[in-house]
């Protein structure tokens, strides 16, 4: 069986999803991040994992993780923090980000039922060139430490590292993780039943009301908020 670790920051204004500001306020960006994390934790809670762990950067974990193990994130760059998570565990482990609320149990099924003798890792590529999930049968931080993170070639570097270590890697579906307002709109459109999509829809409806009421929203803000549904 497989342990699951969701890595997340506390969803405070100015601390998460700052690339959504503008057009969103920092408070709205944090609200969207909280919705995305909630969807991710609720989905992960239903998966048949041996352990559910939240690798958390913050003070107050979200209520959806009340029954989870809380693992404080290590210091250092993202590669160091991810590496520390895998160093902490000695069982097959899935690391899942908080930015893909559209992920489904079906997409992650291979990580729990498809290891077999021939698969050493599962890799979930993100459409921006990074990755949204990584599972290792024999976890070790050495497979992540030193990988350049948050770049368009992060996924390429990570896959190369796994290959050079002699691992056989299975691929999970490519997903869009949420960095920009265009990402948020795309994810909401394919996951309309999520808290994330409902939260985003409420923000867009509010933006339209502000237009009707004559609020002072800039021309650059409105297309991103109203977007394809106008």
- 213, 126: one domain: no
Helix H or strand E encompassing 202:
helix 195-212
Report whether 4 contacts 94 (CB < 8 A): yes
What would the DSSP string read from start to end of 4-56? EEEEEE---TTTS-GGGTTTS-HHHHHHHHHHHHHHHHHHHHTS--S-EEEEE
Residue 176 lies in a domain: no
Rg (alpha carbons) of the chain, rounded to whole number: 18
- 106, 20: one domain: yes
Handedness of CA 105, 107, 111, 117 (dihedral sign): positive
- 22, 131: one domain: yes
pLDDT band at 215 (very low <50, low <70, confident <90, very high): very low
**pTM for the full predicted model:** 0.90
* Closest to 173 measured CA to CA, from 132, 113, 116: 132
Mean pLDDT for the chain? Answer: 91
Average pLDDT, integer, range 10-32:
96
- 207, 119: one domain: no
What pLDDT does 216 receive?
Answer: 41
Handedness of CA 194, 131, 127, 222 (dihedral sign): positive
pLDDT in tens, 92-122: 999 999 999 999 999 999 999 989 888 999 9
- 159, 196: one domain: no
- 166, 196: one domain: no
**What's the CA gap between 37 and 103, in Å, rounded?**
12
What pLDDT does 227 receive?
Answer: 47
Handedness of CA 178, 11, 42, 71 (dihedral sign): positive
- 34, 66: one domain: yes
- 157, 114: one domain: yes
In the chain, DSSP finds a helix count (H) and a strand count (E) of 7, 7
Host domain of residue 22: 3-171
pLDDT in tens, 35-79: 999 999 999 999 999 999 999 999 999 999 999 999 999 999 999
- 194, 137: one domain: no
User: Measured between alpha carbons, how far apart are the two ends of the chain, in Å?
Assistant: 46
Percent of the chain exceeding pLDDT 70 equals: 90
In sequence order, what are the residues at sequence separation of 6 or more whose Cβ sits closer than 8 angstroms to the Cβ of residue 40?
6, 8, 96, 97, 98, 100, 101, 103
Q: Is pLDDT above 80 for 211?
A: no
Tokens in use for 134? Answer: 């990584």
| Number of folded domains that form the chain | 2
Report whether 71 contacts 51 (CB < 8 A): no
- 30, 128: one domain: yes
């Amino acid at each position: 069986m497989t342990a699951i670790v969701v890595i997340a920051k506390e969803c405070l204004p100015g601390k998460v999803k700052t690339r959504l500001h503008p057009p969103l306020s920092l408070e709205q960006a944090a609200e969207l991040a909280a919705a995305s994390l909630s969807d991710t934790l609720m989905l992960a809670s239903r998966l048949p994992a041996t352990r559910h762990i939240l690798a958390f950067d913050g003070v107050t974990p979200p209520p959806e993780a009340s029954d989870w193990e809380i693992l404080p994130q290590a210091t250092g760059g993202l590669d160091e923090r991810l590496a520390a998570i895998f160093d902490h565990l000695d069982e097959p482990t899935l690391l899942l980000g908080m930015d893909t609320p559209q992920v489904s149990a079906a997409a992650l099924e291979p990580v729990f039922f498809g290891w077999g003798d021939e698969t050493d890792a599962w890799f979930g590529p993100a459409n921006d060139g990074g990755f949204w999930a990584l599972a290792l049968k024999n976890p070790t931080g050495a497979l992540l430490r030193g990988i350049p993170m948050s770049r368009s070639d992060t996924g390429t570097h990570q896959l190369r590292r796994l290959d050079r270590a002699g691992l056989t890697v299975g691929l999970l579906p490519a997903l869009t993780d949420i960095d920009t307002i265009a990402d948020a709109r795309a994810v909401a459109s394919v996951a309309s039943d999520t808290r994330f999509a409902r939260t985003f829809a409420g923000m867009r409806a509010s933006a339209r009301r502000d237009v009707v009421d004559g609020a002072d929203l800039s021309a650059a803000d409105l297309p991103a908020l109203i977007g394809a549904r106008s």
